[in-house]
Amino acid sequence: MKGLWLEDRKMSFRTDLSIPELEPDEVLIKVLLAGVCSTDLEMLRGYYSFTGIPGHEFVGEVVDDNGHPGLLGKRVIGDINISCGECERCLYQEPSQCMKRRTLGIFDYNGVFAEYCKLPAKNLTVVPDSVSDILAVFAEPTAAALRILDQVQVRPGDRVILVGAGRLGLLIAQVLKNTGCDLKVVIRRPEPALILEGLGIRAVYEDQVKGDLADIVVEATGSPEGFELSRSLTRARGTLVLKSTFAGDVKMNLSKLVVDEITLVGSRCGNYPAGLRALAMGLVQVGEMVDSVYSLDQGLEALSRASQSGVLKVFIRP
């Protein structure tokens, strides 16, 4: 089959890749549409040492159910965490934190920038006919945005600052707005301001929030500088939520976190059916985020486009 191949931080387009071989718990999926995520771009910079097919945001059609009834021919999205089902964390209903976890297109498990992929049947959510392919691909990052509300209570009276208005930040902004909180979103470029204002969300530049303090700060910039700004905006005994994943290290003053009694929350994947539901109900809008759609043969061009400053969502359609 055709697909993109990542090795030694270099991406190539190949036509000689093997169609995935299935384990008993897995099904074969024809990829209909895949989204390029900031994490995919960070993989090229060494976020994880990974050799294989990258990509993890997708919608596809099950073409071999491998004995799992009710899935053949269905459009599906999939949880990117492949868990063992046997370790302590899995047994305590925390499969996304499995001690032997593999991750679709990121760690030890081939991803979706190809004609076909595979996933365990238990990871799949069937997509209703009323939901478009574009919306379905947004389910994974929308679930990641909603994950914040599973971890932190955001009340209408809370002062909340979101730092970062990129691919994930714009989804987080809408999730936070739906709580009724006093929300500001820190931007670096004017383009996201137009989208945010259209959604009724305040957009501000960094110099406009100097000296401000918030009860809850969400960092979604994908940069060490964004972390430092986010930390400076978090009030004493406030909560700092980290959504960024990127290559490299962050320097921080841990003593300051201790003295100010800051609650630091790492936040990753969320509930996929919930993300799909929020999109289907119109609680999260993504139309203004769609930039372009490329064929799989143009996959390298798609990644190049996605890496350009200010570009939001780029898709690959095999």
One domain for residues 110 and 178: no
- Work out whether the CA dihedral 48, 12, 139, 124 comes out positive or negative: negative
> For position 176, which CATH number holds?
3.40.50.720
> What digits encode the pLDDT tens for the residues 30-70?
999 999 999 999 888 887 789 999 999 999 999 999 999 99
One domain for residues 174 and 242: yes
CA dist., res. 31 & res. 131, Å (int): 16
One domain for residues 124 and 151: no
One domain for residues 32 and 119: yes
> For position 46, which CATH number holds?
3.90.180.10
Tell me if 151 is assigned to some domain.
Answer: yes
- Number of structural domains (the chain) is 2
pLDDT of residue 107: 94
CA distances from 116 to 51, 112, 311 (A): 17, 7, 27
> What digits encode the pLDDT tens for the residues 262-312?
999 999 899 999 999 999 999 999 999 999 999 999 999 999 999 998 899
One domain for residues 259 and 292: no
One domain for residues 256 and 296: no
Tell me if 50 is assigned to some domain.
Answer: yes
Return the structure tokens found at 316.
Answer: 């690959």
* pLDDT band per the 50, 70, 90 thresholds, residue 211: confident
Tell me if 277 is assigned to some domain.
Answer: no
pLDDT of residue 247: 65
One domain for residues 81 and 155: no
Q: Is 102 helix (H, G, I), strand (E, B) or coil?
A: strand
Tell me if 279 is assigned to some domain.
Answer: no
One domain for residues 18 and 90: yes
One domain for residues 28 and 95: yes
CA distances from 239 to 30, 213, 216, 260, 290 (A): 41, 11, 5, 11, 31
One domain for residues 150 and 245: yes
pLDDT of residue 288: 93
Tell me if 271 is assigned to some domain.
Answer: no
CA distances from 130 to 76, 140, 272, 281 (A): 13, 18, 17, 11
CA dist., res. 254 & res. 249, Å (int): 14
Evaluate if pTM is beyond 0.85. yes
| Higher pLDDT among residues 250 and 221, named by residue | 221
Q: Which domain holds residue 190?
A: 145-266
Tell me if 275 is assigned to some domain.
Answer: no
Query: Does the pLDDT of residue 249 top 80, yes or no?
Result: no
* pLDDT band per the 50, 70, 90 thresholds, residue 200: very high
Tell me if 207 is assigned to some domain.
Answer: yes
One domain for residues 128 and 20: yes
> What digits encode the pLDDT tens for the residues 133-164?
999 999 999 999 999 999 999 999 999 999 99
One domain for residues 27 and 105: yes
**Which amino acid is located at 133 in the chain?**
D
Tell me if 133 is assigned to some domain.
Answer: yes
